[in-house]
Amino acid sequence: MSNQHSEQASTQVHGTDQDTPADAGSESVSASGSGWRGCWVLWVLVVVVAAAALYGVWRVVQQQQVLGLQLDELRADVAQEDHMLQGLRDEQQAMQADIGDLRTGLSKGALVRAVTEASFLVRIAHDHLVFAYDLPGAVNVLGAAEQVVGDVDDVRLVEVKRQLADTLQVLRQVDVPDISRLALQLKRWAARAQELPLAQNKMAPVSATPATEQAGARWQVLLYGFWAELKSLVAVRQGEQVTVPLITPEQQYFLYQNLRLELGAAQISLLHRDPRNLRASLSAVRDWVNRYFDVRSANTKALLAELDALEKIDVAPALPELSSLQQALHDVLAAVRDGDEGVQKIDATDAGRVMESGTANTPL
């Protein structure tokens, strides 16, 4: 077994030694073949790279051409949009001009409406002052006119606003007496006239005529009473003294009635704010009370005090005139009308010039 193994080993060694020259030749041939193959591979790679580069350049050129066309289209779109934008700007300017004209017309209309309404309110306030002497009502109406004018911002209303403010300030400072309360006091005194006692030294003695006889000749009593009343108004002077006839019981009724009538006349003059007739009526009442009634009585003293206090009251204080305010409103309306007429005249002149020149307006 060992011999066999040794033989095999020697055979392998010898075989190896015999094959060595052939392998060397094959290795040289394979080396030269691999060199050519490497060159061919290299050339192929170069060609592929060159072709890829050329293809890339061609693709870039194509993309540049496409981008150029797209850029031209974008430029055309931008130019068209610029043209449209310019048209929109022109339309916006025209709209702004129309809006300005509309605002001017609206402001002018608001001005005319406010001035007209304020003028109407001033007339109402004038009626409150002149015919009813109603200061609170006039103040309320003028306050409404001031609010109407104040809502309009126009330089032509400056004078109107100033006069309204001054008039309202003056009216709020006027001290107006309570006419209704004073008239009610006079009415109460007229109802209580019977409570005033007559002076004892002016009363005539009571007649002893029977009641039936007095009732039968009542018309004679009334006639005599009127005659006695007329005679009582006449004083007969004897030297330096004045003799006042005595008042009979039948005349007392007419005396109280005349006192009530005079107090009623004073009440009417007070309600009408007529200071002249009011003073005349109060003076007549005072004279009658001092002449025929007991001035030591509490009721008589109270009535005389009421008359003195009422005579000191200014029942018709001076009120501001509203004519200047009304004139200021009229001037504003006149200025607005003159402005409109001036604009119409200018437009008519321009139209005439266009017709003379022979040019026609091209509608938009």
pLDDT along the chain (364 residues), means of 10: 47 45 50 67 82 85 85 86 83 67 59 91 91 88 93 90 93 87 91 85 48 50 58 47 53 86 92 90 92 90 92 87 91 81 38 38 34
C-alpha dihedral (100, 101, 105, 111), degrees to nearest 10:
40
Strand partners, 236: 243
Q: What is the pTM of this model?
A: 0.50
Read off the pLDDT of residues 188-218 as tens digits, 9 standing for 90 and up: 999 988 888 888 655 554 444 444 444 445 6
Note the pLDDT tens digit of each residue in 234-248: 444 444 444 444 566
What is residue 221's predicted lDDT score, i.e. its pLDDT?
57
Secondary structure class of 309 (helix, strand, coil): helix
How far from 135 is each of 77, 119, 161, 169, CA to CA, in Å?
A: 75, 18, 20, 12
Residue 311, Cα to own-chain centre: how many angstroms?
44
Cα torsion 5, 9, 14, 16: sign: positive
The first and second tokens of residue 14, run together, are 């010898």
Counting beta carbons within 10 angstroms of the beta carbon of residue 319, is it exposed (0 to 12), middle (13 to 18) or buried (19 or more)? middle
pLDDT score recorded for residue 9? 44
In angstroms and rounded to an integer, the radius of gyration of the C-alpha atoms of the chain is 63
Q: Sign of the CA dihedral 21, 27, 33, 36?
A: negative
| Phi, psi of 120, deg, nearest 5 | -65, -40
Task: State residue 228's pLDDT score.
Answer: 58
At 134, is the secondary structure helix, strand, or coil? coil
Q: Which residues contact 333 (CB under 8 A, 6 or more apart)?
A: 112, 115, 116, 119
Q: Which two tokens stand for residue 42?
A: 């290299």
Q: Which residues pair with 243 in a beta bridge?
A: 236
pLDDT of residue 3: 46
